[in-house]
């Protein structure tokens, strides 16, 4: 896990190290998969949709509200192998 020390002396850890290690091309061409289908996931999708860096937004399984913001994928949130396969294919 990547970390950095802030000016206040505290060590900070990056929650998503893969996002930190992107190059400029990848920063402007991000695909995001949100797993779930409730109100929190809708809020997350709404915020991601505002980013100029996100080119494709998927949600598994999603819901009708999320479908207005993202492409819903009919995969249950508990079907880990299927989610990994989908994410790998979409790379």
How would you write the chain as a 3-class SS string? CCEEECCCCCEEECCCHHHHCCCHHHHCCEEEEEEECCHHHHHHHHHHHCCCCEEEEEEEECCHHHHCCCEECCCCCCCHHHHHHHHHHHC
**pLDDT per residue as tens, the chain (91 positions):** 455 666 666 655 555 555 555 555 566 788 999 999 999 999 999 999 999 889 999 999 999 999 999 999 999 999 999 999 999 999 7
pTM of model > 0.85: no
């Amino acid at each position: 896990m990547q970390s950095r020390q802030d000016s206040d002396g505290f060590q900070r850890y990056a929650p998503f190290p893969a996002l930190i290690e992107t190059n400029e091309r990848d920063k402007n061409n991000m695909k995001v998969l949100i797993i779930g289908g409730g109100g929190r996931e809708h809020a997350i999708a709404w915020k991601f949709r505002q980013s100029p860096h996100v080119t494709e937004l998927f949600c598994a399984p999603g819901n009708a509200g999320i479908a207005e913001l993202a492409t819903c994928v009919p995969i249950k949130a508990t079907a880990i192998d299927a989610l990994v396969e989908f994410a790998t294919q979409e790379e």
